[in-house]
């Protein structure tokens, strides 16, 4: 099994980042980790540990904030716990899950490796770093424990997996489009100037990009509900709105599929 791994390091407006990439049979995935003002935001994937551990070794930080429990964000948290003894924070709901052996489908273990157990503390509602106060913003939908972090001093917003891309075509089975819509509406009530996404990196014109994503999802929601009112079942709505099959759907055995967009909208909040 040939897994191609690479990474690139950089800095954007005082935010250091590592972008780790994994490629397997034409499916390419990537994930970012950020360091800003002594805060490490997300820890990368265990499969890319050589890249992320070097980044972690060289980075200057004294606390770790994790946006959500998924293994591409928590993969090197155990390494930090072992080598640095610094506090790691995650939403209260997933502390116990993260302290146990990871349990997720094989294709995710292939891409992201096996996340080792780690011990986190309860994410506060606000926190301070060396020069700033931060808001922790509840943004569930992609994951039920998902948070975004806003540096009040710089207006930099770290959105985890809330954004990722503007047009949503496939989501995980456990995701909910109506909940993501609510979360986008919530972050947009805050005063921020820049957006850093864990898969897209720095997002140009971040606020406008988040607004576009919100508007796309609202339009999609409307389309699904209209087709539902016309009596179409979920599978029919999917073929009408998402005629393409994406490689990740095949790869994941349907864990990532457009059908979950449709069913989560039909189910509502």
**Binding footprint of Zn ion on the chain (CB under 5 A):** 70, 161
User: In whole angstroms, how close is the CB of 128 to Zn ion at the nearest point?
Assistant: 26
Give the separation between CA 178 and CA 182, rounded to whole angstroms: 6
Size of the chain, expressed as the number of residues it contains: 269
**Are β-strands 63-65 and 156-158 bridged in parallel, bridged antiparallel, or unpaired?**
unpaired
Kindly tell me which of 81 and 161 has the beta carbon lying closer to Zn ion.
161
User: In whole angstroms, how close is the CB of 60 to Zn ion at the nearest point?
Assistant: 26
User: In whole angstroms, how close is the CB of 18 to Zn ion at the nearest point?
Assistant: 17
CA distances, 211 to each of 147, 186, 195, 201, 205 (Å): 18, 11, 12, 17, 10
Kindly tell me which of 161 and 194 has the beta carbon lying closer to Zn ion.
161
User: In whole angstroms, how close is the CB of 24 to Zn ion at the nearest point?
Assistant: 18
Kindly tell me which of 147 and 207 has the beta carbon lying closer to Zn ion.
147
Kindly tell me which of 108 and 234 has the beta carbon lying closer to Zn ion.
108
CB nearest Zn ion: which residue? 70
Give the separation between CA 180 and CA 264, rounded to whole angstroms: 10
What DSSP string runs through 70-102? -HHHHTTHHHHHHHH---EEE-GGGHHHHTS--
- Both tokens of residue 43? 């820890």
């Amino acid at each position: 099994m040939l897994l191609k791994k690479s990474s690139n390091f950089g800095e954007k407006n005082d935010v250091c980042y590592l972008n780790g990439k994994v490629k397997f049979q034409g499916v390419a995935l990537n994930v970012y980790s950020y360091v800003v003002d002594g805060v490490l935001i997300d820890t990368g994937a265990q499969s890319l540990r050589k890249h992320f551990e070097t980044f972690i070794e060289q980075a200057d930080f004294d606390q770790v904030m994790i946006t959500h429990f998924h293994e591409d964000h928590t993969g090197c948290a155990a390494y930090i716990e072992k080598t640095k003894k610094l506090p790691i924070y995650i939403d209260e709901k997933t502390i116990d899950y993260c302290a146990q052996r990871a349990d997720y489908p094989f294709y995710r273990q292939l891409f992201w490796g096996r996340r080792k157990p780690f011990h986190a503390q309860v994410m506060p509602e606000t926190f301070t770093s060396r020069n700033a106060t931060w808001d922790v913003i509840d943004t569930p939908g992609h994951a039920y424990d998902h948070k975004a972090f806003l540096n009040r001093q710089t207006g930099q917003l770290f959105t985890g997996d809330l954004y990722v891309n503007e047009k949503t075509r496939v989501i995980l089975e456990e995701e909910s489009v109506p909940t993501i819509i609510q979360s986008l509406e919530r972050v947009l009530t805050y005063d921020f100037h820049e957006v850093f996404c864990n898969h897209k990196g720095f997002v140009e014109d971040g606020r406008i990009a988040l607004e576009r994503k919100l508007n796309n999802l609202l339009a999609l929601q409307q389309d699904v509900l209209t087709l539902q009112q016309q009596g179409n079942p979920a599978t029919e709505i999917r073929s009408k709105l998402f005629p393409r099959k994406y490689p990740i759907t095949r790869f994941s055995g349907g864990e990532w599929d457009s059908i979950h967009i449709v069913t989560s909208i039909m189910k509502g909040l």
